[in-house]
Homo-oligomer: A and B are copies of this chain.
């Protein structure tokens, strides 16, 4: 019982810290404001976290856990590497757009002056490069398009959408990614691969994803259709 309450308090502190970091930035966020927003005493905060850097690390760790899970949840057996890549971009953008802990943790990891334990930007770069290497092995990339060409534009644009969304949150809405992939995929992939992506896409669009028309509780919604404008 005590244990459960401690877990809830810790989560409330992480959530309040994410909001404080988002509102004021890491340097200007105050521990006193974080504990009071979480509805606990400063002493309770210090029971869980030694200092502000420890709070920030907990926000980043929580963000890493949920971002990694979201990236996993949209990848299914039978999907090719480009389906995985597009699906992961939608899932991560949606999580960063709607979840303050994922958003603040990702942003702390981008520019933190406090030397982050995790490097979520680097992790995202590695994820894109790995999936594009798989796409290359699966012979999905068009003639003359190298992994590096494709990685630069995907990493650059997705990082840019996230950076732009700090000022205008609409940049992380699904429509941005849908336009991006509609523009890019016909250049990136072979005609055959594009046809497969279109077929898979319209199958998802027609309802049904992993055999059910509603995602199981706790799992991500199916990625939005790449080619169908909603």
Taking beta carbons and an 8 Å cutoff, which residues of A are in contact with B? Answer: 24-25, 27-28, 110-111, 113, 121, 145, 148-150, 152-153, 155-161, 163-164, 166-167, 171, 176, 179-180, 182-184, 186-188
Contact = CB atoms under 8 A, between A and B. Distances in A.
Given A155-B164, A159-B160, A160-B156, A179 B121 contact: no
A109 to B, nearest CB: 11
Contacts of A158: 156, 160
Identical chains bound together, number: 2
A161 B110 CA distance: 13
A145 B152 CA distance: 21
Contact of A183 (B27, B28, B145): B145
Contacts of A184: 153, 184, 187
A25 B183 contact: no
B153 A157 contact: yes
Given A27-B27, A186-B187, A155 B160 contact: yes
Contacts of A157: 153, 156-157, 160
A24 B187 CA distance: 41
B152 A176 contact: yes
A148 to B, nearest CB: 7
Nearest to A163: B163
A183 B187 contact: yes
A113 B160 contact: no
Contacts of A148: 179
A163 B124 CA distance: 14
A179 B28 contact: no
Given A148-B179, A159-B160, A184-B187, 12 more contacts: A24-B113, A121-B164, A145-B183, A149-B182, A153-B157, A156-B171, A156-B176, A157-B157, A157-B160, A158-B160, A163-B163, A183-B188
A27 B113 CA distance: 11
A156 B152 contact: no
Given A157-B157, A160-B156, A183 B113 contact: no
A47 to B, nearest CB: 29
9 contacts: A153-B153, A153-B180, A153-B184, A155-B160, A159-B160, A160-B161, A160-B163, A183-B187, A184-B184
